Chains A and B, each alone.
Chain A
Amino acid sequence: MTSDVTDLTPADYPLSINRPELLRTPTGKALADITMAAVVSGEVTNEDLRVTPETLVLQGRIAESMGRRQLGENCRRAAEMTAIPDAEVLAMYNALRPNASTAAQMEEIAARLEGTYSATTCAALVREAAQVYAARNLLAEES
């Protein structure tokens, strides 16, 4: 999830217009390849219409260059999450609701984020939640 573009500034925004050469679809196509002809022929599929982790990192850098630290962090967590299937993202969200998970279950999610998806920032958020939930009595009872 590294990029050799480290000097993005607000002037690069919008990337779709000012820096299209930096953008790729998850299957490696350029933005300009997403044409009606390619859609009709089936060359472009729904899989192409997603954002890549690299692009999210770039957008996070632009946000940070505007002084929006937290939006940048959100983009970094999002970059990690692109690898997680839709259903599992929703399952993890549900597990983070109050009184939904035990301390052990929260740790399991954090470990899976870290181990399976290399999602270290997301894992840190889940571990932090587990600590707060323990202090505020918001963990599920151990059965």
Chain B
Amino acid sequence: MTTATGTRTLSLRETGPAERGTRPEEVVIALSPAFGDPFTKTIVDVPHAEVIRQLLAGVEEQGGVARLIKVYRTADLAAIAHFGAKLSGSGIAVGILARGTTVIHQRDLARLSNLELFPQAPLLDAEVFRMIGANAAQYAQSRSPRPVPTRNDQMARPRWQAKAALLHLKEFECIDHARAAVEVEPVITRVD
């Protein structure tokens, strides 16, 4: 488990409609419909607060800036990330599902393509999320970072495949076709 001492909770404060950014070095972090609310942690119980904290820290340590948006009209990771990339001033976005599956995307790529994909959510911990943030910031600055080392675990299927399917179905239930994407500000509260 990766939970540090003390728990942090995340709330997402809506600040307005998601719009196209102008800062040439920004990274958009695009969240799926169930991220943060109603779900609060990934498939392996990494708190969403921790995911956001690490992603932001990763971006920041590379001298980048990040902006968060929440998407409601699709729960398809590629679509969420590609939508975020199109709004990003740099054209770079990190897309993330509530269960933790993550991708780094770029505006000019085909939707089903990507810069880096992390399909095995159960293997993503705080350290990996930090590296993902750092790499996204470097892509946004037109640098070529070494890809985050991929992990593999052939026993992930028996342990997590069905739970992943269940979480996927729940995320689908949170899709709201009538609701446009919004910009959000993360409020992370530490509960000791």
Direct A/B contact, Cβ within 8 angstroms: no
Chain B positions within 8 Å of A, measured between CB atoms, are none
